[in-house]
Structure 1
Amino acid sequence: MTDPSDPDLPRGLALAWGVAATPQRGPKREMSVERIVEAAVELADAEGLAAVSMAAVAARLGYTPMSLYRYVTAKDDLILLMQEEATGLPTDQTREGDWRRRLETIYREQVQLYLQHPWVLDVPISGTPVTPNGAAWMDAGLAALTETVLTHDERLAVILLVTGQSRWTGMVMAGYARSMRERGVSDAEVTAEEDALFRLLISPDAYPDLRAAIDAGVFLEEGDPFSFGLARVLDGVDAYLARAADGARDAPRPWVTSDDADIAEDKSYRAAVKAVREAERSLRDARKQARQAARAARDRLR
């Protein structure tokens, strides 16, 4: 029986970690796993993931497909190695600043990677790839939250929020970039076209709120809605950190129980609950100011 704590490493992962045996004989010295992956990435960058095949990569290198199979035995392994190469490593900037600044840096760097290699977004998600670069990104995200009061599973959940936001942003931005490139139009032209279409097709009777947004010029705004969304997500994490530091987390508040349902509408009771909530809000604001003051003090000491 196979010990689950010591699994057989798939060929693709063994190659990614540099522990796979290399062929004893091959076409020429120029051939290597690294060169094959580099050629495959170049092909995907130029023509998309669908253009990548063992035959196409071999032709790009000037070899036969059988020559590649001595090094990479399956296309799935090649895709894994391509994703690992394109993902790269987080920069040192992801280790600088407070937890929020570091997560924002991770977000921006991942979005940029998706824009540089949009085909990565077409790779099916079949689990968390346990590769060196993939692990490095996770480690950088978890390191950003190490000094917080979050538990390990809470830290991982926050990382999933940030990486999910970066992937969604990358999907939209890469899609627009591809469309503009294929049509030969500018960002301003696309914005004007979309606004004109919405104004033509959306009536105030059928879609009153959407039409109001259109009339307000929402589709002509130059702001970044994705960064705004990330900021609000991190605001939520910040608020949760304040509660967690106070021992509250998401547990029910002791002063509100199911037994209070019969007095929920009592004016005095509602006023008392409101006062407690305002006090909690003031406490969170005070804690936030204290953290900001502490960061400023540390910056002055550097």
Structure 2
Amino acid sequence: MFAEQAGSIELLWGGRERPSRGPKPALSLDRITRTAIALADASGLAAVSMQRIAGELNFTKMSLYRYVPGKTELVALMIDTAMGEPPAPRTGSGWRPALRAWAESLSAVFHRHPWLLPATVGPRVMGPNELGWVESALAALADTGLNGAEKLDAVVVVNGHIRTLAQVAVSMGVGSTRARSPEQVMSAALNELLVGRSDRYPALTAAVASAAADDSHDQALEFGLERIFDGLESFMHRRTARHAKPEAGAEPGAKSGAP
């Protein structure tokens, strides 16, 4: 995989900014990348092309190739730039508030840039910012007693919950997904679909009506996070209890090998 992604690795991790020869250029890799992000934010990832970016910048398409080899490498740069710096780890508040803050920040990123969902699927190279997000989430779980594999799995589960909500919001989009929360988009779409169809979907109609009546809608992100965290906490407690339990048949306080 890395051989096929050599261009992305060079741009993401090699720090290449401008051609080494010739006069000081008017373009920059950052300017090209941010123009591409603006296009994707407005019209989706499919709208991004080297020709379109060149037109937006009033340069020729060939000028862009002096900075970035092609769209694959450009998308890699777009992802890492759009992700931005990860939130600083929260200290002294416990792992749940720290991981919740991380999750809410990541949800906001997908909310601002819906094109990140398809862009971050499949084999690819992660950049410094994206890897920093993983580092930040793992740091939140530092004192939980989970081993490395379990911490990574926990981050994958939380990330999956966030992505699922964002994807559903996009697929059921009513209006602009950047103007409302994913839960608001889903609620509006469900209400619209259920008009005149309550007999066919009585359970769904009742659930939506109940959520609206007690103002408990628009909480899918928080609800899911809390249930995931409850599961992790229960797992941690079981492990602690198992390790603290004396061996079967052993007297409390007895030393192994005593006569």
Letter in 1 for 2:207: A
Tell me which of 192, 207, 210 is aligned to 2:204: 210
What do you get for the CA RMSD once the two structures are aligned? 3.3
Identity across matched positions, percent: 32
Distance 1:85 1:188 in 2: 27
Distance 1:62 1:26 in 2: 20
* Structure 1 contact 142–155 (Cα < 8 Å) conserved: yes
Distance 1:189 1:228, change over 3 A: closer
**1:35 pairs with 2:31:** yes
Distance 2:17 2:134 in 1: 27
* Structure 2 contact 174–188 (Cα < 8 Å) conserved: no
* Structure 1 contact 39–57 (Cα < 8 Å) conserved: yes
Distance 2:124 2:185 in 1: 39
**1:15 pairs with 2:11:** yes
Q: Which residue of 1 aligns with 2:126?
A: 130
Q: Which residue of 1 aligns with 2:191?
A: 195
* Structure 1 contact 11–20 (Cα < 8 Å) conserved: no
Residue-pair matches, total: 240
5+ residue gaps, structure 2, are 249-259
Residues 52-85 of structure 1 deviation map (CA, whole Å, 9 limit, x = unaligned): 0011111111111111111100110000100000
SS class of match (1:30): coil
TM-score normalised over the length of structure 2 = 0.79
* Structure 1 contact 26–70 (Cα < 8 Å) conserved: no
Q: Kindly report which structure 2 residues correspond to 1:121-200, keeping only aligned pairs within 5 A, or say none.
A: 121-127=117-123, 129-174=125-170, 179-181=174-176, 191=187, 194-195=190-191, 197-198=193-194, 200=196
Mean Cα deviation higher: 21-30 or 84-93: 21-30
Point out which structure has higher relative CO (alpha carbons under 8 A, 6+ apart).
2
Residues 226-268 of structure 1 deviation map (CA, whole Å, 9 limit, x = unaligned): 21111111100000010112236xxxxx9xxxxxxxxxxxxxx
| CA drift at 1:41 | 1.0
Distance 2:79 2:202 in 1: 44
**1:225 pairs with 2:215:** no
5+ residue gaps, structure 1, are 249-253, 255-302
Tell me which of 237, 240, 261 is aligned to 2:235: 240
TM-score normalised over the length of structure 1 = 0.69
SS class of match (2:146): coil
Distance 2:30 2:129 in 1: 15
**1:69 pairs with 2:65:** yes
